Amino acid sequence: MPDRPRRQVTFRLTLLRLRRSPAAWAAAAAFPGFILFLWIKESYGTALRSFLFLLPHTFLFLSQDMVGDEVREGRLENVLFLENGFKGYLFGKNAVLVLTGAVYGLGLFIPLWVIGLVTHRSGWGDLPGLITALLAGVYYVMLGGLLSHYLKGGSNVLVLIVAQAAVFIGLLFSATQKGGFLDLFTSGHFSDFAAKLEFLAFAAVIPNVIVAGRLQSYALWIVGLTALVLFIQWMKIRRLELKRP
């Protein structure tokens, strides 16, 4: 199959799968509702900051079961994927999910930001936060795609959320220690190499933290992680062979 029709097949099949995902629909509906709730109950600033921090998680939910079940259940044994075409399809899903997440995120951010701009409650300084939020979202898509090679159903998303909860609880425990990691994290300045490594490990599990103003300088770390995970995912797909009965 020529490249252009193959890309069209990838785009349409991936969007069809998203439309049939209850989790994707639930997340897409709940997110703007939650931001609106914060705006009404708290303030515009709280709503905007929360939006930027949580936006990457919408990408994470898009990555639910990106690869696993399609391979295990024989869905790729189709004439559309002759001559190892299924490999290009699986890898191409990354681009479709990133594009979908970006369009969704920008569709919510632009009216929210413009309203704030008109009312002098937001400004151009919010755009770096949007960029870093999108970078974290791209990382989630790549990481979710890699994990879905090993985990069934939506377990790739669940595992990440559980890991994030565990890391967050550990961060709260450090709050009892004066000068502990939480204090360094809040200030955005890490006193030694070990503390910086600890933060990099933290950001690898919860990349949303780079949205904060003091931590946006670590965006390149997320870019590097994204490239690494994408490379591992590509190597995994290259070696993938469909098991035929």
Does pTM top 0.85 for this prediction?
yes
More confident residue, 40 or 87: 40
Assess whether pLDDT exceeds 50 at residue 40. yes
Lowest mean pLDDT among 3-7, 69-73, 137-141: 69-73
Residue 74: per-residue pLDDT: 54
- Over residues 111-134, the pLDDT tens digits come to 999 999 998 888 888 999 999 999
Assess whether pLDDT exceeds 50 at residue 72. yes
Residue 238: per-residue pLDDT: 82
Three-state helix/strand/coil letters over the chain: CCHHHHHHHHHHHHHHHHHCCHHHHHHHHHHHHHHHHHHHHCCHHHHHHHHHHHHHHHHHHHCCCCCHHHHHCCCCCCHHHCCCHHHHHHHHHHHHHHHHHHHHHHHHHHHHHHHHHHCCCCCHHHHHHHHHHHHHHHHHHHHHHHHCCCCCCCHHHHHHHHHHHHHHHHHHHHHHCCCCHHHHHHHCCCCCHHHHHHHHHHHHHCHHHHHCHHHHHHHHHHHHHHHHHHHHHHHHHHCCCCCCC
Which band of pLDDT confidence, cut at 50, 70 and 90, is reported for residue 143? Answer: very high
Assess whether pLDDT exceeds 70 at residue 2. no
Lowest mean pLDDT among 23-37, 108-122, 156-170, 174-188: 174-188
Residue 138: per-residue pLDDT: 97
Per-chain mean pLDDT for the chain = 83
